[in-house]
Structure 1
Amino acid sequence: MKQIPLGRSDIMVSDWCLGTMTFGTHTSVADSGRQIDMCLDAGINCLDTAEMYPVNPVAAETVGQSEEAVGAWVAASGRRDEVMIATKISGPNGGFMRGGEGYHAGNIAQAVEDSLRRLNTDVIDLYQLHWPDRGSYMFRQNWSYDPSGQDRAATLDHMDAVLGAMQAQVDAGKVRAFGLSNESAWGTTRWADRAAAVGGPRVVSVQNEYSLLCRLYDTDMAEMAVNEDVTLLAFSPLAAGLLTGKYQNGAIPKGSRMDLAPQMGGRKTPRLFAAVQAYLDLAAAHGLDPVHMAMAWQATRPFPVSAIFGATTVAQLEHLLKGRDLVLDDAVVAEIDEIHRAHPMPY
């Protein structure tokens, strides 16, 4: 598995990353630990979680359970030094965390302590802001995004204060690196600029949705990533399971994400399934598994990417890992781009 630097830090991560948002509920604690071991044995050293996980749905009685499942593995495995653990503090849409107040300079220290306790570790390798305090166009909000109500001065003051609190956690040895999630090009660049101005930790990564079906990152964010040395942690590289083909022709497997969330977080649209079928047909024409093709495509991008995949079951993970060495040839990548032009942003 290829290793890439996490921004300008000294942390190296695999270009695949294990996501844990089902750990503790849909994925048992025992299977969660087994999945981590399987990934480490396959050369994947990156593990992503969040204080609000598990999801589908997020519930008051389950927040923190994914971190606890990771923590159970840390306590039992003796392999903590082999894995880069990333977690996130919830933004103002965090729901059940701190009454939904989000994050600010006054509550970051306690949130870090709570995550450290659940994770059974002394240090968080990458601590990420799960959602911009000012809002975001992610999760299909791009169709009606309106930033006109933002207060630039208040946003920059908030950034400065958060960076000061984050630097205190770095200085205390409790956090190694600082990252973002669901951010824009303007926001990510401002975080980098403000860190230089106030002496806070420089952003090393941004975790945004990115897949064959969701390519918002390809323009302004791509330029930012290259010029600012910010690594993309791409979530939903399989488009919430859509690119596996399991939902084609009206199929809704019992217990699947579409079964639990019928609109798939706004992904289910009239144009969706034709786009999925085009990628499935391409994979079949080249003798490729569509899951493996979608994951391998991430490594072809002209900016640094570590793709975060999730597997509810060990069997799903075993199938994913069979494609870890696949490299797409130029002809397949070119055909992918043709499909993208024919089916741009289907959700």
Structure 2
Amino acid sequence: MKYTTLPGTDIKVSKICLGTMTFGNQNTEQEGFDQMDLSLDQGVNFFDTAELYPVPANATTQGETERIMGNWFQKTGNRSKVVLATKAAGPGSYTAHIRDNMSFDKRNITEALDNSLKRLKTDYIDLYQLHWPERMTNFFGQRGYVHNPKDTWTDNFEEALEALDDLIKAGKIRHIGISNESPWGLMRYLELSKKGLPKAITIQNPYSLLTRVFEIGNSEMCMREEIGLLAYSPLGFGRLTGKYRGGHNLDKARLTVFPNMARYNSDQSIEATEHYYQIAKNHGISLTQMALAFVNQQPFLTSNIIGVTNLEQLQENIGSIDLTLSKEIMKEIEAVHNKIPNPAP
């Protein structure tokens, strides 16, 4: 395994992070235990979850992923071996079952964290993240920002950071991060952190061969302001494994289960994937490992979040850390990107 540190800290994290959103829905508790056992055995010490999980989000299963992880910590005693990240959900039609009011105010953030701590059977979180903006941008089902002159959103950045600061001082969280943020949102958090409030040291956004919009704005901010990307969906919901080539195996696929991720089913995504598949084939490597290695090699990356449903997939994904893409492969990847840029932004 290869390791980095959470920016501005001495906390060592594996460059591969175990994503857990399948625990409690696509995966049973025992399967979740097996994934965490294998990950830790392979040197993966960074686990990411959220109060919303598992997905698809609903009132029946909400919080089950954290409960499974908490049961594993209790059973194994491995809490001290894991850098644990979780997230507080923001407002949206898919979160109304969690709390009556999902804004990032002090009451909601504190309630969200306390409930996560109980489920996870721990008294602190290493990295606590705000799952997405509470304003109408970059939420699931809508990519980017569409201005609405009737938007009643009130700037809540300062109150959110003040609430998180109180929780840091109480010893309940060590560091904070954000997720699904735009360059403007990241700038606002940074602006306030320079006035004495906590700094978001990570940003968890989608990043893959099919989704490289992070490179427009956010990547420069990360490099210049010492913030690390936690890349999610590095395989484009499985599209970049190549298993869906020719339209096969889509009945139970994530791309079918999650219709709001239909962008990975677009003609452009399918065409780009075919080009990337041929590059990997020509160089004698799997598309899965090439796609993950591409993410692993980015200078703004802190950790690459992988999510699987079985141990075979997990082993292959973790193994991508040992692959370094040559300049020739990177040049061929860039040629495809220039021809079909960001087919699934």
Which of the five TM-score ranges fits, normalised by the shorter chain?
Answer: over 0.9
Q: Structure 1 residues 150, 334: closer, same or farther in 2, change over 3 A? A: farther
Q: How far does the alpha carbon of each residue in 1:157-213 deviate from its partner, in whole angstroms, 9 at most, with x for none? A: x1111111111110111001000000011211211221222x321110000000000
**CA–CA distance in structure 2, aligned partners of residues 123 and 277 of structure 1:** 44
**CA–CA distance in structure 2, aligned partners of residues 102 and 16 of structure 1:** 31
Aligned with residue 164 of structure 2, among 163, 166, 175? 166
- Which residue of structure 1 lines up, in the alignment, with residue 109 of structure 2? 108
Q: Which amino acid aligns with 1:90?
A: A
Q: Structure 1 residues 185, 264: closer, same or farther in 2, change over 3 A? A: closer
Q: How does 1:24-39 map to 2 (within 5 A)?
A: 24-39=24-39
- CA drift of 1:149 comes to 6.0
- Which residue of structure 2 lines up, in the alignment, with residue 335 of structure 1? 332
1:322 is paired with a residue whose SS is helix
**CA–CA distance in structure 1, aligned partners of residues 119 and 143 of structure 2:** 34
- Which residue of structure 2 lines up, in the alignment, with residue 45 of structure 1? 45
- Which residue of structure 2 lines up, in the alignment, with residue 283 of structure 1? 280
User: Are 1:247 and 2:248 matched, yes or no?
Assistant: no
- CA drift of 1:145 comes to 2.8
Q: Which amino acid aligns with 1:207?
A: Q
**CA–CA distance in structure 2, aligned partners of residues 207 and 141 of structure 1:** 17
- CA drift of 1:100 comes to 5.3
- Which residue of structure 2 lines up, in the alignment, with residue 137 of structure 1? 138
- Which residue of structure 2 lines up, in the alignment, with residue 85 of structure 1? 84
- Which residue of structure 2 lines up, in the alignment, with residue 5 of structure 1? 5
- CA drift of 1:305 comes to 3.2
**CA–CA distance in structure 1, aligned partners of residues 222 and 203 of structure 2:** 9
**CA–CA distance in structure 1, aligned partners of residues 256 and 216 of structure 2:** 33
Q: Do the aligned residues in 1 keep the contact of 2:178 with 2:200 (CA within 8 Å)?
A: yes
Q: Structure 1 residues 100, 61: closer, same or farther in 2, change over 3 A? A: farther
Q: Do the aligned residues in 2 keep the contact of 1:29 with 1:69 (CA within 8 Å)?
A: yes
- CA drift of 1:150 comes to 6.3
Q: How far does the alpha carbon of each residue in 1:54-79 deviate from its partner, in whole angstroms, 9 at most, with x for none? A: 01x21110010011111111111111
More off after superposition, 84-93 vs 253-262: 253-262
Aligned with residue 293 of structure 1, among 290, 295, 309? 290
CA RMSD of aligned residues (A): 1.9
- CA drift of 1:262 comes to 5.0
User: Which consecutive residues of structure 2, in runs of 5 or more, have no partner in the other structure?
Assistant: none
Q: How far does the alpha carbon of each residue in 1:84-133 deviate from its partner, in whole angstroms, 9 at most, with x for none? A: 11000001122321035232122211211100000011101110000111
- CA drift of 1:302 comes to 3.0
**CA–CA distance in structure 1, aligned partners of residues 188 and 145 of structure 2:** 23
**CA–CA distance in structure 2, aligned partners of residues 62 and 85 of structure 1:** 21
Q: Structure 1 residues 39, 302: closer, same or farther in 2, change over 3 A? A: same
Q: Structure 1 residues 328, 132: closer, same or farther in 2, change over 3 A? A: same
Q: Structure 1 residues 280, 136: closer, same or farther in 2, change over 3 A? A: same
Q: How does 1:63-102 map to 2 (within 5 A)?
A: 63-93=62-92, 94-99=95-100, 101-102=102-103
Q: Which amino acid aligns with 2:173?
A: V
Count matched residues: 342
- CA drift of 1:226 comes to 0.6
**CA–CA distance in structure 2, aligned partners of residues 71 and 54 of structure 1:** 14
Aligned with residue 178 of structure 1, among 169, 172, 176? 176
Q: Structure 1 residues 95, 279: closer, same or farther in 2, change over 3 A? A: farther
1:47 is paired with a residue whose SS is strand
Q: Do the aligned residues in 2 keep the contact of 1:140 with 1:266 (CA within 8 Å)?
A: no
**CA–CA distance in structure 2, aligned partners of residues 284 and 278 of structure 1:** 10
* TM-score normalised according to structure 2 size: 0.94
**CA–CA distance in structure 2, aligned partners of residues 329 and 28 of structure 1:** 39
Identical-pair percentage: 38
User: Which consecutive residues of structure 1, in runs of 5 or more, have no partner in the other structure?
Assistant: none
Q: Which amino acid aligns with 2:45?
A: N
2:321 is paired with a residue whose SS is coil
Q: Which amino acid aligns with 1:89?
A: A
Q: Which amino acid aligns with 1:105?
A: K
More off after superposition, 106-115 vs 237-246: 106-115
